[in-house]
Structure 1
């Protein structure tokens, strides 16, 4: 809701997008099995009566297998629509990243700095720094989604055979969109690499914006024996009173909580002063969230280890695919040379 919620870290923020992009990458790579099927030999729609070797051409051209139904080989475009959909989902992820960063770079938030190399100045207002790279990421995702929508709309009423609507017009924007996805990934990598969090500003906001309220409620449940429902009501009253008095979150004390509990609800609350001090400290609130996928160092270390492992597997898979393509190209050249060396009868 774009309101102060709970204290986290910039690394935690980025790690969430890393998780999303890992899923995006999985969706993209899963398309390969349905793309890398050879249609050669399918003819116009019913195969051919010539004794050709479809498996040989598939092998020489680096395909994993052949399509088993000739008409499906001619009619199918789902593999390309699926790839566009996966690309659109990926672009949506980095578009959401761009939007979050856009807000963080505003004067009002001021929690993130992007250098001039990924920004532009206003043509009229000399003080104005426009986050052009972020705008490119947001706009580019719309173009990719548009290409996917065009593909699906073009396919939905096409006969299951060859036709210009399903073969050409439905995918009029596909190649530009896929090229745009590659460019968008490169731009997103540059932006993330150059972005720098304004740590002091982040810490100042976390200390005063009452984002530790949930930790106070948790303390009332753990140490005070209250239900979370009652703790929620009491902490809400504490925050309201603190805002009226101009008391920032980091200055809420056990005596202040006891006062509000008594006057607002008639409850006698006696929390340990040191426990309250720890609860209103954003840094300690962050570290308290362990084993639940939270922002603590403990949890992030485990997450980064998992992400590093997934990244290593992804890179190895891409290396294997590249090697397979190179081997197929070598095989094709050898087969061509062998064929070219055959002497025809009467030659």
Structure 2
């Protein structure tokens, strides 16, 4: 696991993916919240003062698949909350996925080489024949940036506009929302494709863990628990070992491991990751529980979407039935 672009602690690939999944689960939650705005029928609001015609708004709303009607006609024509919330939610989601794309792009450089991608997901150079460019990560980052721009554009168009019907809110503020939806569709497709095809290079993971002495924090906690040292003292002792090793041009990892038992020294890197079983760390049991929770959330969301689709399909059937009665 990296912190400020530097090796921090021992983690696992599964732990990283589950961390991103947690962020995406929050994004999914707020996307679901959009239904509240989407589910309001504005029929009868007319130009902002309602109508004198005695219409049955509730019946029309039900036949069109809505669960409620707008309580105020002026608000119905003045607000574009749904558009703003769509843009905001997708901007946040795009930012999450752009950060993930940045990680993978960095990790596929020769300096890291943590992952390898198939040739059909990479480009080459028109001039430099040796290059293998995972440029699709750049596409994700670029398209996500446009989402932020469209959100700012919409907010700016609506700023200082009277709370009623206006061209700024109904036309100009919504310019490009179709592009936003298309870009997000592309981002999701590319992210799924790249992550599913990225092949981890385990040897490079271990090389980074060893060179960066990622076990240092785990060793410090060992000294606190087993040697009864205050963490401050354990922290200083390990730092001193690393500093001396660098100045003497010896392996810092071996110097740090001199503070633990032979049994711990022989453990593989995964041991130090699994040791962090508490606080939401990469412990084995915690990882399994997080994975099961992620799958459970996914099932709930899938069933929720299906229930909305069934409701809309049922409304369409009822609508066609009522139309046939009139015709």
Bin for the TM-score computed over the shorter chain = over 0.9
Q: Which ranges of structure 2 fall in alignment gaps of 5 or more residues?
A: none
**Is 1:36 aligned to residue 39 of structure 2?**
yes
Distance 2:183 2:64 in 1: 26
Counterpart residue number, 1:195? 198
Distance 2:52 2:208 in 1: 75
Deviation of 1:31 (Å): 1.0
Mapping of residues 134-283 of structure 1, within 5 Å: 134-252=137-255, 256-257=258-259, 272-278=261-267, 281-283=268-270
Mapping of residues 1-347 of structure 1, within 5 Å: 1-252=4-255, 256-257=258-259, 272-278=261-267, 281-340=268-327
Distance 2:50 2:62 in 1: 19
Distance 1:284 1:158 in 2: 60
Q: Deviations over 1:177-202 (max 9, x none)?
A: 12211221111111111111111111
Distance 1:216 1:285 in 2: 9
Q: Contact (CA 8 Å) 1:209, 1:248: kept in 2 or not?
A: no
Q: Deviations over 1:280-318 (max 9, x none)?
A: x42210111113211122111000010010000000001
Distance 1:184 1:274 in 2: 47
Q: Which ranges of structure 1 fall in alignment gaps of 5 or more residues?
A: 258-270, 341-347
Distance 2:12 2:249 in 1: 26
Q: Contact (CA 8 Å) 1:253, 1:277: kept in 2 or not?
A: no
Q: Deviations over 1:42-73 (max 9, x none)?
A: 11111101100111221111112111001000
Instruction: Give the total of aligned pairs.
Output: 324
Distance 2:190 2:261 in 1: 50
What's the Cα RMSD here? 1.5
Deviation of 1:249 (Å): 4.8
Counterpart residue number, 1:344? none
Q: Contact (CA 8 Å) 1:140, 1:184: kept in 2 or not?
A: yes
Counterpart residue number, 1:264? none
Larger radius of gyration: 1
Deviation of 1:25 (Å): 0.7
> What is the SS of the residue equivalent to 1:45?
coil
> What is the SS of the residue equivalent to 1:80?
helix
- CA distance 1:253–1:155, shift in 2 (3 Å): closer
Q: Contact (CA 8 Å) 2:150, 2:180: kept in 1 or not?
A: yes
Ranked by relative contact order (alpha carbons within 8 Å, sequence separation 6 or more), the top structure is: 2
Distance 2:251 2:76 in 1: 67
Q: Deviations over 1:195-236 (max 9, x none)?
A: 111111111221232111111111121122111111111111
- CA distance 1:44–1:55, shift in 2 (3 Å): same
Deviation of 1:158 (Å): 1.0
